[in-house]
Amino acid sequence: MKKWHSGYVAMIAASVSLIGFSACQDDEGPMIPEQNVVELAAEDPDFNTLSTAIEEADLVTTLSSDGPFTVFAPTDAAFGSFLIDNDLTAEELLASSSLSDILTYHVVSGTRLSTDLESGAVSSLEGTNFYISEDPTGNFWINGSAQVTEADIRASNGVIHQLDGVIVNPSQTIAEIAVEASEATNPEFTQLVAALNRVDLVEEVNGGSSDNLTVFAPTDAAFEQLYEDLGVSGLEEISDENLTSILLYHVVPARAFSQDLRQDASLPTLLEGENLTVDLANLQINESGLISNSLNIHGINGVIHAIDRVLIPSGL
């Protein structure tokens, strides 16, 4: 956060007048810098990539206007990780036709200080929602993947919150993510996809942004353990009724990122009357472990958390 310093005046008579002047400033609230969000980003050594991207995306005029704007600003390190994760060069990112959409997805109309932030959907300047979560220690996260590491960098036309990650608007539903994973070179969720297809529940985990689902998705190894526990060879030996109940028990009708979960919380599921219990201390949902490197897989209609055991409802 930018720090503003004022010199001390040594003369006794002048100091008396300064005390009165300072009191007036305190009454009027904190001083607002003359620089707008674009100018502040350009002066900050952590935002070199962001500043260049704003210029390349022709957003300087927009973000220099009166606004006000709240900018969730990825650092250079955040952009560096984003490039590696997406197998991109900086040049390719800056030349991308989606650069403007990526940047405006990080911008909100209006001034939202950290005291104004709360968990839930926020409409971005790009036109779609991103999602704020507050973790149990009070830190704010966006889409479950990027943390606000420095807040309330005030500008003349808004405020900047520094992010340690780049957020991207999801382009696939939960169902589409699972299917793609099942067809990958190193496939995962093949049994989950087969089970959903078997009992015609694919549409239950499909849909738009207003559906807001959380799927605790068992891995293939989790299903193999289930078959062993039940003494069966595969899905075909589990009745449609039981399989439907098991699958619905893994879906929560709310978009809950890992940072939204709380110790001992009871989560309602799509299986009527059956709830899941959160054990954050042991990173578990019921008796199933959350897989730490496969959390917060964000989709259009919700979020996926991979788990290492299939959850069984109490009635089965």
Model confidence at 10, pLDDT cuts 50, 70, 90, reads very low
> Cβ of 41: how many Cβ atoms within 10 Å?
23
pLDDT exceeding 90 applies to what percent of the chain? 88
Q: Which residues contact 264 (CB under 8 A, 6 or more apart)?
A: 277, 278, 279
CA 304/CA 298 separation, integer angstroms = 6
| CB crowding 228-251: b at 16 or more within 10 Å, else e | eeeeeeebeebeeeebbbbbbbbb
Peptide bond into 33 cis (omega under 30): no
For residues 122-147, give the mean pLDDT.
97
pLDDT exceeds 60 at position 26: no
CA-to-CA distance for 295 and 257, rounded, in angstroms? 8
pLDDT for 178-189, tens place per residue?
A: 999 999 999 999
Which superfamily does CATH assign the domain made up of 174-307 to? FAS1 domain (2.30.180.10)
Q: Distance (Å, rounded) from C-alpha 75 to C-alpha 303?
A: 25
* 128 against 316, higher pLDDT: 128
**Residue pointed to by tokens 């005291």:** 115
CA 173 to CA 171: how far, in whole Å? 7
Q: Which CATH number is associated with domain 34-163? A: 2.30.180.10
Integer Cα distance of 220 and 223 in angstroms:
5
Predicted local confidence at residue 34, as pLDDT: 85
CA distances from 277 to 17, 155, 177, 295, 313 (A): 62, 43, 25, 17, 12
Instruction: Dump pLDDT digits (tens) for 36-62.
Output: 999 999 999 999 999 999 999 999 999
| pLDDT one-digit tens code per residue, 260-282 | 999 999 999 999 999 999 999 99
Between 169 and 11, the higher pLDDT residue: 169
Q: Phi first, then psi: give them for residue 304, nearest 5 degrees.
A: -110, 135
Answer with the residue of higher pLDDT: 4 or 227.
227
pLDDT band at 24; cut points 50, 70, 90: very low
What was the pLDDT predicted at 6?
Answer: 40
Does residue 20 carry a pLDDT above 50?
no
From CA 287, how far away is CA 226, in angstroms rounded?
13
Q: Render pLDDT for 231-255 as a digit per residue (tens, 0 to 9).
A: 999 999 999 999 999 999 999 999 9
Q: Indicate if 174-307 has the same CATH topology as 34-163.
A: yes
CA distance 47 to 49: 6
Domain ranges, ordered by start, for the chain: 34-163, 174-307
| Mean pLDDT estimate for the chain | 91
The Cα 296–Cα 103 span in angstroms is 21
Type of residue at 277: T
Render pLDDT for 189-213 as a digit per residue (tens, 0 to 9).
999 999 999 999 999 999 999 999 9
Alpha helices in the chain (DSSP H): 12-28, 37-43, 48-56, 60-64, 76-85, 90-94, 99-104, 174-182, 190-198, 220-230, 240-248
